Structure 1
Amino acid sequence: MEEDVKDIVEAVTPEELAQDAQEIALSLWQKGELLLQDMARTWNLYQLLIFAVILVTAHVLSRVLGPRLHDWMRAREGWPKWRMRFLVLLHRRLRLLLVVLITWPVIWIMREVTFSHRTAILEVAGKLALSWLVIAILTRLISNSFLRGTVRYVGWTWATLMILELTGQARQLLDSAALSFGDTRLSLWMVFQGLMIIGLLIVVARFISRTTSERIRQNEDISPSMQVLALKVMQITLYGAAFFIGLKAVGVDLTGLAVLSGAIGVGLGFGLQKVVSNLVSGVIILLDKSIKPGDVISLGETFGWINSLGARYVSVVTRDGREYLIPNEDLITGQVVNWSHSNDYVRLDIYFGTAYHDDPHAVRRIAIEAAKSVDRVLDWKPAVCHIVGFGDSSVDYILRFWISDPTGGLTNIRGNVYLALWDAFQEHGISIPFPQREVKLLNEQIAVAHEARHTADPAD
């Protein structure tokens, strides 16, 4: 252990790093002096003046053409989204685009009328503007804003160094700051390379994932559960391959990750039991197809349809617009009512009562006809009505009917059937009784009894 620490300390000392930085800074200073001397020449001053005119011209044209381009874009309603997004990107970078479009024709014209070395500064400016524009366009493929900004600014910086021929000094400075772990040497240059390669591979993996996922979702031969499972496996494979390929490309020894993965596995077993349980439960749900997106389920007091299946939870949307995130483990271990597991047909029951003087045969017939008159009730499925008891004030019935769209709600269809029963009973003169009670006041009974006793015995 002490030898490893000694290797790390001896890998790079502050004195060596400072000396390397001083050498690089001195080299850059010498290049800067040469550049200033070159700029002092007449043609170089002319190039700077020409480029300043180009910048002013591009700024003025962007002010004039920007609103007109914006209005023209708003009129293109039928265009594809990718084309409109590309136009929006060009509109936002209109000034830089105009600089590129003006600079390079000026360079070509000057090459024809004068010596080629008299356009050196303009060529540098044109290459910088073109590289910045290309990087700005390509980084729009990255959806994550933080990653997109990081890649963009790093790309601009590295492109500038390449055009100014300073990449050798930058690489030397980044490579001089390094740490050694046994036979492995880790420098800032290696970290930079790794981040760039991994970032690029992740962008490619994301693009492939999106393109393939659209085709999988459009394939009707694959069930929704298997679609979700295939997408998850594909994403894990692509992103995992991008990460490990990126590490291998920069020379990282992957054999050391075996010990790290074992330690992570032990940590998962003890500290992340719930997380792992939810992940495994999610895979089981996808494999056994017990629930799938679009199913209507009931779990406790939660009733709604499944919006999406995640790696850790299931998203359930209720009729009131609330979205519940239910852990996968609860769906495996708890009792779940899937209203549309094998089919979408659902039978509903409602209870009501009528007075004793109403004909029960007529009540049953009228109740069935009233239920079938409601729009969402299936008329080709049998609706039945049975007597379930003789209550204190009414004859009690149960009415059963079928629907095929539980996602449309259950309470509302019950309410519509109750309303149809009310209208039908009013039309046929069938009454819905309510409990009636007789109340006798105890004080009046005592007074009546006392008066009767006084009449029977005048002596009292």
Structure 2
Amino acid sequence: MDETPEIVTKVTGWLADAGEVAMGWLASPAAWSQFALLAAAFIVARIVTLRVNPVLSRLIAPPEGRTGPIATARSFVLRFLPLLLPLFAYGLTAVGEEVTRSLFGSGEVIAFGKRVFLFLAVRAFVRDILTDPFLRLLGRYVLIPVAALYTLGLLDDITTRLEETVIALGNIRFSVMALIRGVIAGSLLFWLGSWSNRQSADYIKKQAELRPATRELAVKATEVLIFGAAFLLLMSIMGIDLTAVAVLGGALGVGIGLGLQQIAANFVSGIILLVEGQTTVGDYVELDGGEKGTIVKMTARSCILETFDGKWIVVPNEHFITSRVVNYSDQGSANRYEAAFSVSYDTDINRVPGIIEAAVAALPFVLKKPDGPDVELRGFGESGIDFAVEYWVNGIDDGKNKYGSQVLFAIWNALKAEGIEIPYPHRVVELRDGSTPVKARVKKAGA
């Protein structure tokens, strides 16, 4: 016949003990007096809570429409009012326990009731106060079960059993309780690290006096510090010797030397980019490999470029250090462009600069500083006299900013308004009928 599993025997023993304790309480007059004290403590706590809750709500609640740190803190404290009833009942029960033990020498019933009120406080805390989905999940499946075991008096036995169960992985040995403690502590620490990282990142990014590159570097440094401290604290909580971390660091160094050098190079290159600040978020850049776009994000490994047609290009940070990079928009600086055009040889070319410069300067996006529009004579072509107008604008002539097209329209309209002809190619054709050549001059558009 198969033996009964140990866990079944253990649970059966716990149930039998609980039954004996319950029967003893039901048969004891002292237990009934403690039940009466518990009921009285709950009724008094209920009456006091009903009277105090409205008063505290009016005192703590911030004025309507008020914002700021103080108003946020008052709203946060207001969320804890549901704990008032179970905690007040717990306090009254604790006083009753001391009185009962001093008079009758026993107080198991009222001590159990005190633990019940504490369980109710934990349940209210998880149900009414925790709003973060992860914390509420952790409270529902970890905090409430632990409080229930404590209420039933089983927590110490289960904890001892888990401490005695040891898991061995090579030379590393740890108990099941240490593993559970590590999982719970790790979840809390890394949630807290993520929350702290978000708060610190938001605060740093609001510091307008810092350069964007400096802000990004501060955000990355803060992130490394927060999660590094969380990892070391977790190792300490789990009871793992930090010398094992040193061994892990040595192995990681060997791995970097053998196969992760590109990742390490990109990480170091990212730090150099953030420190130097020559390229930062918002700059329009072009690399030797042909990649070009606006930097929308800088990570520890790469920069993300967004092209004008909406595509994202992930460029490793190392490329910004080892190759030539053209930065067209260093923090919003002006850029110079030019538009070429020609006029016929019949034109008085001394009039052209004034006409075109005035027409281009009238465009709203053309800057007067560092220099206004400037028309230059570039040469004498086959079909006409070649000019070019140079102008300065803020931004890049692509995507949503089509500066070149508008400038060419302005040139065309200005020349037409002044009656100046824009030439097209001319060709001379010779027709031979045997002995006498016949020359004909043909105008042909489009070469």
Is 1:205–2:193 an aligned residue pair?
A: yes
Q: Which amino acid aligns with 2:200?
A: T
8 A Cα contact 2:90 2:118, kept in partner: no
Shift of 1:334: 2.5
Is 1:227–2:195 an aligned residue pair?
A: no
Is 1:385–2:382 an aligned residue pair?
A: no
Q: Which amino acid aligns with 1:178?
A: V
Structure 2 match to 1:257:
245
Moved more, 430-439 or 353-362: 430-439
* Rounded Cα–Cα distance in structure 1 between residues aligned with 2:281 and 2:244: 41
* Rounded Cα–Cα distance in structure 2 between residues aligned with 1:417 and 1:269: 55
* Rounded Cα–Cα distance in structure 1 between residues aligned with 2:170 and 2:309: 61
> What is the correspondence of 1:270-309 to structure 2 with a 5 Å cutoff?
270-299=258-287, 301-309=290-298
> What is the correspondence of 1:97-116 to structure 2 with a 5 Å cutoff?
none
Structure 2 match to 1:130:
121
Structure 1 residues 352 and 201, CA gap change in structure 2 (3 angstroms): same
Residue among 3, 25, 33 paired with 2:11: 25
8 A Cα contact 1:175 1:189, kept in partner: yes
Structure 2 match to 1:190:
178
Residue among 388, 411, 416 paired with 1:426: 416
Residue among 294, 299, 306 paired with 1:317: 306
Residue among 392, 405, 430 paired with 1:402: 392
* Rounded Cα–Cα distance in structure 2 between residues aligned with 1:269 and 1:82: 52
Structure 1 residues 361 and 189, CA gap change in structure 2 (3 angstroms): same
Q: Which amino acid aligns with 1:135?
A: V
Shift of 1:355: 2.2
8 A Cα contact 2:395 2:401, kept in partner: no
* Rounded Cα–Cα distance in structure 2 between residues aligned with 1:29 and 1:371: 93
* Rounded Cα–Cα distance in structure 2 between residues aligned with 1:216 and 1:367: 48
* Rounded Cα–Cα distance in structure 2 between residues aligned with 1:416 and 1:137: 61
* Rounded Cα–Cα distance in structure 2 between residues aligned with 1:284 and 1:183: 40
Is 1:355–2:341 an aligned residue pair?
A: no
Q: Which amino acid aligns with 1:367?
A: I
Is 1:218–2:206 an aligned residue pair?
A: yes
Could you say what secondary structure the match of 1:239 adopts? helix
Could you say what secondary structure the match of 2:350 adopts? helix
Structure 1 residues 387 and 249, CA gap change in structure 2 (3 angstroms): same
8 A Cα contact 1:184 1:253, kept in partner: no
Shift of 1:338: 1.0
Could you say what secondary structure the match of 1:308 adopts? strand
Cα RMSD after superposing both structures: 4.7
**Deviation digits for residues 356-379 of structure 1, max 9, x if unmatched?**
222222222222112211111112
Structure 2 match to 1:456:
none
**Deviation digits for residues 274-318 of structure 1, max 9, x if unmatched?**
222211110111122221222222235544332222111112233
Residue among 155, 163, 186 paired with 2:143: 155
Is 1:370–2:359 an aligned residue pair?
A: yes
Shift of 1:328: 0.9
Is 1:340–2:326 an aligned residue pair?
A: no
Could you say what secondary structure the match of 2:324 adopts? coil
Identity %: 27
Structure 1 residues 419 and 407, CA gap change in structure 2 (3 angstroms): closer
8 A Cα contact 1:354 1:433, kept in partner: yes
For structure 1, which runs of at least 5 residues remain unmatched after alignment?
Answer: 1-14, 51-75, 92-96, 450-460
**Deviation digits for residues 179-198 of structure 1, max 9, x if unmatched?**
24687531110011122233
**Deviation digits for residues 227-255 of structure 1, max 9, x if unmatched?**
21122112111211111122113321111
Shift of 1:331: 1.6
* Rounded Cα–Cα distance in structure 2 between residues aligned with 1:352 and 1:216: 50
* Rounded Cα–Cα distance in structure 2 between residues aligned with 1:109 and 1:194: 36
**Deviation digits for residues 10-53 of structure 1, max 9, x if unmatched?**
xxxxx9xx64x355323433255458769999x9xx99xx9xxx
Could you say what secondary structure the match of 1:319 adopts? coil
* Rounded Cα–Cα distance in structure 2 between residues aligned with 1:214 and 1:149: 26
* Rounded Cα–Cα distance in structure 1 between residues aligned with 2:386 and 2:316: 41
Moved more, 263-272 or 207-216: 207-216
Residue among 269, 280, 295 paired with 2:257: 269
Q: Which amino acid aligns with 2:165?
A: A
Shift of 1:146: 6.0
* Rounded Cα–Cα distance in structure 2 between residues aligned with 1:271 and 1:258: 20
**Deviation digits for residues 83-132 of structure 1, max 9, x if unmatched?**
89x999x99xxxxx98x788889999999xxxx99999987665444313
* Rounded Cα–Cα distance in structure 1 between residues aligned with 2:212 and 2:396: 19
Structure 1 residues 138 and 259, CA gap change in structure 2 (3 angstroms): farther
Could you say what secondary structure the match of 2:245 adopts? helix
Structure 1 match to 2:229:
241
* Rounded Cα–Cα distance in structure 2 between residues aligned with 1:306 and 1:355: 44
Residue among 164, 167, 182 paired with 1:179: 167
Higher helix fraction: Structure 1 or Structure 2? 1
Structure 1 residues 433 and 31, CA gap change in structure 2 (3 angstroms): farther
8 A Cα contact 1:282 1:312, kept in partner: yes
Structure 1 residues 213 and 166, CA gap change in structure 2 (3 angstroms): same
8 A Cα contact 1:139 1:152, kept in partner: no
Structure 1 residues 28 and 349, CA gap change in structure 2 (3 angstroms): farther
